[in-house]
Amino acid sequence: MRPFQYLQPATLADVIVAQREAPSAVPATFLAGGTTLIDLMKLGVMQPERVVDLRLAGSDFAQIRFDGATLRLGAFARMAEVADHPVVAASFPVIAQSLSLAASPQLRNMATLGGNVLQRTRCAYFRDPTWAACNKRTPGSGCAAVDGANRQHAVLGTSSQCIATYHGDFAQALMALDASVVLGGPAGTRTIPFAALHRLPGNTPHVETTLHPGEIILDFVIPAGPWASRSLYLKIRDRQSYEYAVASAAVAVAMNGDVVADARIALGGLAAVPWRAHEAEAILRDAVLDEATATRAAEASFAAAVPQSHNAFKIALGRDTLVRALLQAASMEVRHD
C-alpha cells in the first residue's frame, strides 16, 4: 500500500473545510466502514493521496427513522442494524432482505449503507493491476474481460469499453422503492433520485456516479407506497451464503385482488448499474399477476440484453429469477395496519 495522508474530522463542516484547505486539487477519498476501500488500497487498485475518515463526522447520519409516510436511513447506518430493524423488516422487506443476504455477518456489522451503494465492481481484471487492460482502472487501456473470463459480467447496460457488473444488493431495493438520496458537499446539500446516482459505463467507465467532487451521501429517503410492504429480494448465487448475486430481483407490487395496481422492479447481478425494469412494470400494470404475465414481463426486461462469450445463461437465469420473485410477491401475506 502506498503512503497516504489520513484525516479524521469531527464534523461534516470540518470535512468540507479539510477539503477546501487541502494542498492538492485532487479530491479526497472518503472512508466509512472500509470494507471496500481498504481492500482496493491493499490491492493497489485505489491509490488515494488523502483519505478522509468519515466515521466521527458521519455519526449524525446513522439513524433509522420512520414517520409512517417516509423511511429515512442515514448513510452511516451499518448494514446489519438496518437489516435487523423491526420496522424495516415489516414494512420494507425488500430492504431488509437485500441487506441480510449480502456479504457476511462480520462485514454487515462493519459496512455502511453509503459505502454499500458505492462499492466497486468485482470484475477480476479490475481488481488485479497486473492486468494492464481495464478502462475502469486505467482509462483508455482497453477491457480484458471482453475476450476473457466474463461469466460474471453484465448483459444489460454494458458498452464496448466496459462490461462489468454492478454487484451490490441494497441498491436494487432502493431502485425498486423509488428512493431519493441526500448529498452534502462544498456547494451545499441537494437531493437526487437514487436512480440518477450511478452512471452507465459508456465511453467513461471510470466515472461511476454523478456525485460532485467532495460530495458525501448523507441519507436515503424511501416513500412508503402501497407496494413497499409487498416487496421482496430474490438473490440467486453460486453458493447460498457469503456470495454476490449471479442474478437478483427486487420487486415491490401493489395488488387490487389478483390485479397489479402498481409494480416496481430492479434487477441485480445482471447489469452495469442498478437496473430498473420499466418494460416489465408496464406489462404488469392492470394485469392479473399469474405465471403467463410474469413470463411476458420478464421477457420484456431482457429484450435488449447483450450476452458475452461466457454468460448467455444469465439471460435465462435473470428471466426465471424475475418470474419467481413476482409470483412470490403475489402470494405474500401482507399486514394491513
Ligand X SMILES: Cc1cc2nc3c(=O)[nH]c(=O)nc-3n(C[C@H](O)[C@H](O)[C@H](O)COP(=O)(O)OP(=O)(O)OC[C@H]3O[C@@H](n4cnc5c(N)ncnc54)[C@H](O)[C@@H]3O)c2cc1C
Of the two residues 184 and 294, which places its CB atom closer to ligand X in the complex?
A: 184
Q: Judged by CB under 6 A, does residue 168 bind ligand X?
A: yes
d(CA 77, CA 223): 18
**Distance from chain centroid for Cα 45:** 20
DSSP reduced 3-state for 326: helix
User: By CB neighbour count within 10 A (0-12 exposed, 13-18 middle, 19+ buried), where does 55 fall?
Assistant: middle
* Other beta carbons within 10 Å of 163: 24
Which amino acid does the sequence have at 37? L
Residue facing ligand X at closest CB distance: 115
Q: Which stretch binds ligand SF4 (CB under 6 A): 107-115, 162-170, 227-235, 326-334?
A: 162-170
Cβ contacts of 185 within 8 Å, gap of 6 or more = 16, 211, 212, 213, 214, 215, 216
Q: Judged by CB under 6 A, does residue 163 bind ligand SF4?
A: yes
Q: Judged by CB under 6 A, does residue 150 bind ligand X?
A: no
- What's the min distance (Å) between Cβ of 125 and ligand SF4? 4
**Considering only residues 194, 220, 233, 244, which one is a binding residue for ligand X as defined by CB under 6 A?**
244
Which amino acid does the sequence have at 83? A
- What's the min distance (Å) between Cβ of 267 and ligand SF4? 18
Q: Copy the grid coordinates of residue 118.
A: 458505492
**Considering only residues 75, 117, 145, 156, which one is a binding residue for ligand SF4 as defined by CB under 6 A?**
145
Show the site string, 214-233: x = touches ligand X by CB under 6 A, - = not: --xx----------------
Q: Copy the grid coordinates of residue 53.
A: 475518515
Evaluate the CA torsion angle 134, 210, 249, 110 in order and state its sign: positive
Count, residues near ligand X per rule CB under 6 A: 27
- What's the min distance (Å) between Cβ of 33 and ligand SF4? 22
Q: Judged by CB under 6 A, does residue 121 bind ligand SF4?
A: yes
Of the two residues 154 and 265, which places its CB atom closer to ligand SF4 in the complex?
A: 154
Cα–Cα distances (Å) from 72 to 106, 278, 334, in that order, read: 24, 25, 22
Q: Judged by CB under 6 A, does residue 125 bind ligand SF4?
A: yes
Using CB under 6 A as the binding rule, the residues of this chain from 15 to 54 that contact ligand X are 29-37, 39
**Considering only residues 82, 95, 117, 143, which one is a binding residue for ligand SF4 as defined by CB under 6 A?**
143
d(CA 333, CA 329): 9
d(CA 172, CA 181): 14
Residue recorded with cell 441526500: 182
Of the two residues 271 and 284, which places its CB atom closer to ligand SF4 in the complex?
A: 271
d(CA 276, CA 99): 18
Evaluate the CA torsion angle 105, 107, 109, 112 in order and state its sign: negative
Q: Judged by CB under 6 A, does residue 205 bind ligand SF4?
A: yes
Query: Which of ligand SF4, ligand X, none is residue 29 near (CB under 5 to 8 Å by kind)?
Result: ligand X
Q: Judged by CB under 6 A, does residue 46 bind ligand SF4?
A: no
Query: Which of ligand SF4, ligand X, none is residue 244 near (CB under 5 to 8 Å by kind)?
Result: ligand X
Of the two residues 34 and 226, which places its CB atom closer to ligand X in the complex?
A: 34
Decide: 180 and 191 in contact? Cβ < 8 Å: yes
Using CB under 6 A as the binding rule, the residues of this chain from 66 to 85 that contact ligand X are 75
Residues that bind ligand SF4 (CB under 6 A): 121, 123, 125-126, 134-136, 143-145, 162-164, 205
Contact residues for ligand X, defined by CB under 6 A: 29-37, 39, 75, 102-103, 107, 111-112, 114-116, 118-119, 168-170, 216-217, 244
